[in-house]
Amino acid sequence: MASSIPYDPDFEDNNPFSSQIQTPTHSIPALNNSIEDEAPEDDDNDETNDNDNQQSNKLTQEELRRLLPERFSHKFSMKITITSIEKNKPENPIIKFDASIENLPRFRQIRYKDIRRTYQEVVKFNKYLSVSNLECFVPPIPSSVTSYPNGGEDESKKLMINWQEWFDRICNNPIIIRDEEFVFFIENDFGYSVINSNKKTSVASGLVRKTLKQLAVPYDEYEDLSTFRPLIKNCYLTCSKLVKLLDKNSKNEKLLATTINEFSTRLQELSKIEIIHPGMKNMWEKLSKIKLIEADLLLIQSYNDMGILGDGLQYLSQEFYEIKESLTNRHLIMRELIQAQQNTQAKHLQANKIKSKSSLDPIKVDEAIRSLEYATKTEESLNLQIKRISGEMLIEKDEILDYTELKLHKLLKKFTLNKVENNRKILKHLETIRLDIRIIDEKGGLSRLNRENLSNLKHNLIQSQSNNGDSWSSRTFRSLNEEKETKEEVEIDFKDEDVDAKNAANLLGVATF
């Protein structure tokens, strides 16, 4: 079938041109094996494609190879390593990175060092990429700021990780690295602006896009993709809602931290007037101290919560938004295809009309045939484009789902570790002042439970978090310890290897969570 959308079968049968096209599509695969690039057999992508094929039954392996040659070539690769992020104007930091290229055409060097791009330049580049590579879900660039305190160590660390992740993802996409704009992005010595800007603009933008989105979604023969958009859209909506709530929560927590801080001051004041009994004075002072620590920890906690989970979900929701837009673009192209098909149909009718006429005007016949050919070609190219987009998206869809899964796990892991650490700290501090409260007088407080002769006030004051595990549970396993151990192991592993500059940069850049 020439078009992905079935329409009037009568017309199909009568159309000599469409049948002409139909035959080559089926015959080409055999030839295609040799064309373009040789494809290695043992590939993860192959497996996923197989699955796709089974599911959709629309795109065969051969078709995919023909449509997406980049996917099956492992000749080309690019590696970008962040070296530092320089402070510039706020919102516009300078990102410094090294790049190494393998086999990619047009690049004049294999290694590039100290490439400097400002944030805004990368934004432009990213925008271009998403427009020119309609078949890809181009990852959105990370935000220039984080939820961590401005300019802090946490923030710069997190930014490095975010940027490295982004570059890794861009470089791992075989279609994107083939984009010739990449050459300009890497090679330009002084700054960068989009060179191919007039080559392609977005499919439809502004009001047109809005209007078109209101129309019914065109029929999608790839079921996976047709259900994918609503899912992603919901994910996007829920995620951004969640981010907003988390933000609110963190604001509340910060407020609570200040209130607890104030509470601690109040206790301090109270302890000052508690002149009658030194024990009471001591109690209030200790309590005040603990509360102060708690307030600080809560503040740190709320920053961490937002820095880890909030920012992470924020990025995910951006990602989902971009994916949603890409899927919308695909719909728009599908609509273009429908228009093209209708155009072809109209032209075909016109040709038929001329054919049925008794007197044939050769100029008119030529004209009709030419326009029919043109329309058919447009339809054909659009059809191919759609197939290519659909095929690539099917692959990337799985990648995205895997990525989301991994990302969420990582986020929650870091979040959990952080929470545990924080709670353990608070617990430790709380436990230190128990005795201070009990020794106020001989009664020994409630812990004595009416046992008049219990002279040992310290009977149950052991710190609950010993090295042998927590006293309240039989668990000997501890997330934090394990994490530390694995980290140490990794460090030892790396020490064994000989660390050259590149390796070191790699190590520094790699996410440690």
Partner 1 sequence: MNHDDDLTASHWDDVFTPSNNYGSSSFAAPDYNGFSDLNINKQPESDNDEDENEIDDKNDDQHSSENNDQLEEQDTYEANSYNPTVSAYDAAKSEMDQMYELRKEAKNEQKSQLMNELTKDDNFDLENSIVSPKIEPQDSLFLDNGSPIKSEKIDTNDKKKGKKFKRPRKFSSQRNIQHLSNVGPLGLNKSTDNLSIKSNNAKDDLLKESEAPLYDIKPEAEETSTTKVELPKLPSEKSINNLDISVSDPMKVGDITNAHIIYTITTKPKQANDKFPNEVSITRRYKDFRWIYHQLQSNHLGRIIPPPPSKQTYIGRFNESFIENRRLSLEKMLNKIASIDYLSSDEDFIMFLTSEDFANEAKERERISGSGASTQNNDSLDNDKFLDTTVDTSSSNGFMSSIFSMSTKIDEPDEYFENKRHYIETLETNLKNFYKSIELIINQRVDIVNIMEQIIITIEELSDLEISKKTSNLLAAFNDIQIKLKENLDRINLQHHLTLGFTIEEYLRIIGSIKYIFDQRLKIYQTYQNYLLDLNKKKSSLSKYKSRNAVDKIETLNFEIDKLSTRTSNFENKFNLISETIKHELETFEFEKIDDFRNSVEIFIESSIESQKESIELWETFYERQELSKY
- Footprint of partner 1 on 404-463 (CB under 8 A): 404-406, 408-410, 412-413, 416-417, 419-420, 423-424, 426-427, 430-431, 433-434, 437-438, 440-443, 445-447
Q: Kind and range of the H or E element at 78?
A: strand 77-89
Rounded distance between C-alpha atoms, residue 434 and residue 396, angstroms: 56
Please report, in angstroms and rounded to a whole number, the separation of the first and last CA atoms in the chain: 49
Residue of 464, 505, 506, 508 interacting with partner 1 (CB under 8 A): 464
Pick the closer one to partner 1 by CB: 101 or 298.
Answer: 298
Smallest CA-to-CA distance from 472 within 423, 415, 417 is with 423
**Residue 73 C-beta: closest distance to partner 1, Å:** 28
For the CB of residue 410, give the shortest distance to partner 1 in the complex, in Å: 5
Among 79, 209, 377, 478, the residue binding partner 1 under the rule CB under 8 A is 478
| Bridge partners (DSSP) listed for residue 78 | 101
Tell me which residues in 58-117 interact with partner 1 (CB under 8 A): none
- Tell me which DSSP letter residue 433 carries: T
Q: Which is nearer to partner 1, 220 or 305 (CB)?
A: 305
Which residue's CB is nearer to partner 1, number 57 or number 416? 416
| Enclosing H/E stretch for 80 | strand 77-89
Site for partner 1 in 287-306 (CB under 8 A): 287
- Which residue, 431, 432, 457, 433, is CA-closest to 444? 457
- Minimum CB–partner distance for residue 414 and partner 1 (Å): 9
Which of 35, 208, 401, 510 is close enough to bind partner 1 by CB under 8 A? 401
Size, binding site for partner 1 by CB under 8 A:
74
> In a 3-state reduction of DSSP, which class is residue 57?
coil
Query: Is beta strand 469-470 parallel, antiparallel or unpaired with respect to 465-466?
Result: antiparallel
Burial (CB count within 10 angstroms: exposed 0-12, middle 13-18, buried 19+), residue 82: buried
Task: Give the span between the Cα atoms of 178 and 230, in whole angstroms.
Answer: 30
Q: Does 512 bind partner 1 (CB under 8 A)?
A: no
Residues 321-380 that bind partner 1 (CB under 8 A): none
- Shortest gap between Cβ of 510 and partner 1 (angstroms)? 14
Minimal distance in Å, beta carbon 210 to partner 1? 25
Which residues within the stretch 238-257 sit at the binding site for partner 1 (CB under 8 A)?
238-239, 241-242, 245-246, 248-249, 252-253, 255-256
Tell me which residue of 154, 168, 163 sits closest to 84, measured CA to CA. Answer: 163
SS3 helix, strand, coil % of the chain, rounded to 5? 65, 5, 25
| Cβ neighbours around 223 below 10 Å, total | 12
Q: Which of 14, 60, 211, 234 binds partner 1 (CB under 8 A)?
A: 234
Using the contact rule CB under 8 A, the part of the chain among 133-141, 173-181, 183-191, 231-239 near partner 1 is 231-239
CB-nearer residue toward partner 1: 452 or 497? 452
Of residues 261-290, those binding partner 1 (CB under 8 A): 262-263, 266-267, 269-270, 273, 275-277, 279-280, 283, 287
Q: Determine the Cα–Cα distance for residues 303 and 254; give it in Å rounded to an integer.
A: 8
Cβ atoms < 10 Å from Cβ of 332: 20
Q: At its nearest, how many Å lie between partner 1 and the CB of residue 140?
A: 17
